[in-house]
């Protein structure tokens, strides 16, 4: 089974998990109790599943859609390798994928 690694926001902890083919990074995080919010449950309506992709894997990913780019604009700590975890679907090519969790998220879905 493919594997992936989640890196904690402070960069000190790396957690390797099984990454079943066809599941999103967000789903894999939730299955493994990784603290990745996903407030909209993967419906591409927020940026709380923002992750930073290791540069080694970034070019392997399909290009972000315009809708994903719009949501990424709302993400805290955006980088040039930022993506939404709900939009990255695990494949054989992504075996060993490394994603870093940002230090914070911006949840625009919370009632104010």
Q: Which CATH topology does 3-100 take?
A: Ubiquitin-like (UB roll) (3.10.20)
Task: Give all strands (DSSP E) within 26-96, no chain letters.
Answer: 50-53, 82-84
Beta-strand pair 50-53/97-100 = antiparallel
Q: What is the pTM of this model?
A: 0.91
Residue 111 has pLDDT above 50, yes or no: no
Percentage of the chain exceeding pLDDT 90: 86
d(CA 56, CA 90): 15
d(CA 46, CA 68): 9
Higher pLDDT, 76 or 108: 76
Range in 14-28, 30-44, 98-112 with the lowest mean pLDDT: 98-112
Q: Where do the structural domains in the chain lie, given as residue ranges?
A: 3-100
């Amino acid at each position: 089974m493919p594997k992936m690694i989640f890196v904690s926001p402070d960069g000190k902890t790396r957690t390797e998990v099984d990454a079943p083919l066809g599941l999103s990074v967000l789903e894999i995080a939730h299955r493994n109790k990784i603290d990745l919010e996903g407030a909209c449950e993967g419906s591409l309506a927020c940026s709380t599943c923002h992750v930073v992709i290791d540069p080694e894997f970034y070019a392997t990913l399909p290009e972000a859609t315009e809708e994903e780019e719009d949501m990424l604009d709302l993400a805290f700590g955006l980088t040039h390798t930022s993506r939404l975890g709900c939009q990255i679907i695990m494949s054989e090519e992504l075996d060993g994928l490394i994603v870093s969790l940002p230090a914070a998220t911006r949840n625009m879905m919370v009632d104010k």
